[in-house]
Structure 1
Amino acid sequence: MTTTVAPLPSVRGSLKADAPLAPLVWFKAGGVAQWLFEPKDVEDLCDFLARLDPKVPVMALGLGSNLIVRDGGVPGVVVRLGKPFAKVEQVDATTLRCGAGASGILVSSTARDAAIAGLEFLRSIPGTVGGFVRMNGGAYGRETCDILVECDVVLRSGKRVTLALDALAYTYRHSMLPEGAVVVSAVFRGIPGDPAAIQAEMDRIAAAREESQPLRSKTGGSTFKNPAGHKAWALVDEAGCRGLQLGGAQVSEKHTNFLLNMGDATSADIEALGEEVRRRVKEKSGIELEWEIQRVGLLADHAAQENRVGVKK
């Protein structure tokens, strides 16, 4: 995918061309990143973005759990935050500062050890803090907007800013985070709690998730947003889509709001299956399901054309 325009800035972290993304996402399908950047620290990220040609698109990647990477790959730079961004520190009796690369399990476990309640729901979300902040991630009746105090973000310009909760203008699974911005940390606040009770709630959530979701499959998590007054899985089921297959992709028989890669699915298979489910639900109930899973990159048949515009090291 690597072609022309301007050299990329030097980095202290890792910068790879034509990096396969399928191994980094839960569906285990999709194309390459034109460039994959894993910064050494926040300063490395700020410096890189400040010197990067403004025309080059930038996308942040977490655990890849709620993502379809299209088969034609992702133009520009994909930023993946690794261990330097995965620290969780206690600020006060009820507050944690969490790196954007920290998992929900790490955050909720740290909160438990600090006797901070209210963050247990993060245990059930298969993602990182950066994704929670961007998408107002939530589960079991709680959302990121219920616990976020503020977040630190590196803008596309390379400037690091702190955004308060109100600046993100959260709605259901959506924020107004600026285009190309990368979340680097967030401050979450809970309430005083008993570690044993917190652990019990985390165990309850983990058991419920294990029972109802296809956790050991190649999946992308919840596929569609719940329409007002409805559950997406019920609408999919009522439309006769349980177990529906297209190519190597299938609607889960265990939880119908999950799509599965049965082994050899392309991202085109998965996305087309999702669109067929949307069509059938619309036909059956009149309700138009909205994608919750993010779909990024180029369709395979568009990739060659798009390759005419790119960057080189």
Structure 2
Amino acid sequence: MNDMTLIQNEYREKLPEVRGRIRENVRLDKVTWFQVGGPADFVFKPEDEADLSEFLTNLPFDVPILALGVGSNLLIRDGGVRGVVLRLGRHFTKMKTEGTRLVVGAGALDGNVARFAADAALEGAEFLSGIPGSIGGALRMNAGAYGTDMSEILVSAVAYDRQGMRHVLMPEDMGFAYRHCEIPKDWIFTQATLQLSAGSTEEILARMSDISRNREESQPVRSRTGGSTFANPPGKKAWELIESVGGRGLQIGDAKISDKHCNFIINTGTATAADLEAVGEEVRRRVFETHDVLLRWEIVRLGESELDLEGTVT
């Protein structure tokens, strides 16, 4: 029995009883857009907020927990994720209007939220149609596109801390910055209220169509990718810096900097997470050496490097 199995057995004994579902040794490569990465020790899908709160309240602090949405901007390393990965199910995808406000579950897909708002003739959420993720992830990274981000439309968010306590967060509590928020990483978002404005469904859908067409023309949306790889440095474009150092088309194994948009990394075949991370780090190195600019990863990298039986990194 290796060290990882011992740790997993230890965690198993500490998991509280739940009304939702807990699964063990769950592959994560099939639920991330890159389609790479090792398994999760455990995946928990809570029945509702009360189930989530009780689970967090009774889960010992030495068992790590990670919230995972649709894996659109996520790179899971080849060694997998220790502890519990939490995924929000159908209960957390509900949406409703309250006047010109939209109340949405954190598990709702960004694109579905944009379409729901359009059908309700509410404008201001169109940019979400160009972001391939869920509302929880959009809150976590202050997701934005086409000149708008979550900080501009958020009224409040609900999150549960590591002790199972429920918090209602105002925009000023979020610590929003460019592609960033200050809420602790182990807090779980469950809901958001968004302030939109009355508009014309026809005009809103037309803008969403323009966004879709623009993404199709400029980004490798049909490839196994993770979206924008690096945040734009102040006053600069990450793709321009990458292109200037010969990054376009750079390849390590089956991991490649996209020819179509060089701020995207794509898995062209059987790339590993290590390959994808390595090609990203190579362009970061080149950009830093040439321009003295250190690109910040926008893609979230999680988990452990692949381990051999002796527990050493391979």
TM-score normalised to structure 2 length: 0.94
Counterpart among 256, 263, 281 of residue 269 in structure 2: 263
Code of the aligned partner of 1:165:
P
Asked whether 1:49 is paired with 2:84, we answer no
Asked whether 1:169 is paired with 2:175, we answer yes
Change (3 A) 1:303 1:238: farther
Change (3 A) 1:303 1:62: farther
Structure 2 residue runs of 5 or longer lacking an equivalent are: none
Structure 1 segment 66-145 matched on structure 2, within 5 A: 66-92=73-99, 94-145=100-151
Question: How far is the alpha carbon of 1:87 from its aligned partner?
Answer: 1.0
Q: Which has the higher contact order (CA 8 A, sep 6+)?
A: 1
Change (3 A) 1:304 1:227: farther
The answer for the alignment partner of 2:221 in structure 1 is: 215
Q: Aligned with 1:3: secondary structure?
A: helix
Code of the aligned partner of 2:230:
F
Q: Is the 8 A contact 1:224 1:292 kept in 2?
A: yes
Code of the aligned partner of 2:122:
I
Q: Aligned with 2:296: secondary structure?
A: coil
Change (3 A) 1:12 1:237: same
Structure 1 segment 1-313 matched on structure 2, within 5 A: 1=4, 2-4=8-10, 6-92=13-99, 94-301=100-307, 305=311
Structure 1 residue runs of 5 or longer lacking an equivalent are: 307-313
1-structure distance, mates of 2:148, 2:205: 17
Cα shift readout 1:96-126 (whole Å, capped 9, x = no counterpart): 0000010111111111111111110000000
- List structure 1 runs of 4+ shifted beyond 4 angstroms: 302-306
Code of the aligned partner of 1:88:
M
Question: How far is the alpha carbon of 1:53 from its aligned partner?
Answer: 0.7
Q: Percent identity?
A: 47
Cα shift readout 1:249-285 (whole Å, capped 9, x = no counterpart): 0000001000011110010000011000101111222
Change (3 A) 1:165 1:125: same
Code of the aligned partner of 2:93:
A
1-structure distance, mates of 2:155, 2:225: 31
2-structure distance, mates of 1:303, 1:286: 40
1-structure distance, mates of 2:169, 2:64: 22
Cα shift readout 1:142-179 (whole Å, capped 9, x = no counterpart): 00000001011111111111111110010011111123
2-structure distance, mates of 1:161, 1:287: 37
The answer for the alignment partner of 1:311 in structure 2 is: none
Q: Aligned with 1:43: secondary structure?
A: helix
Q: Aligned with 1:150: secondary structure?
A: strand
Cα shift readout 1:231-251 (whole Å, capped 9, x = no counterpart): 111111111111110012000
Question: How far is the alpha carbon of 1:300 from its aligned partner?
Answer: 1.1
2-structure distance, mates of 1:303, 1:42: 39
RMSD (Å) for aligned C-alpha atoms: 1.4
2-structure distance, mates of 1:72, 1:218: 20
TM-score normalised to structure 1 length: 0.95
1-structure distance, mates of 2:280, 2:185: 25
Q: Report how many residues are paired.
A: 305
2-structure distance, mates of 1:293, 1:131: 11
Question: How far is the alpha carbon of 1:301 from its aligned partner?
Answer: 3.2
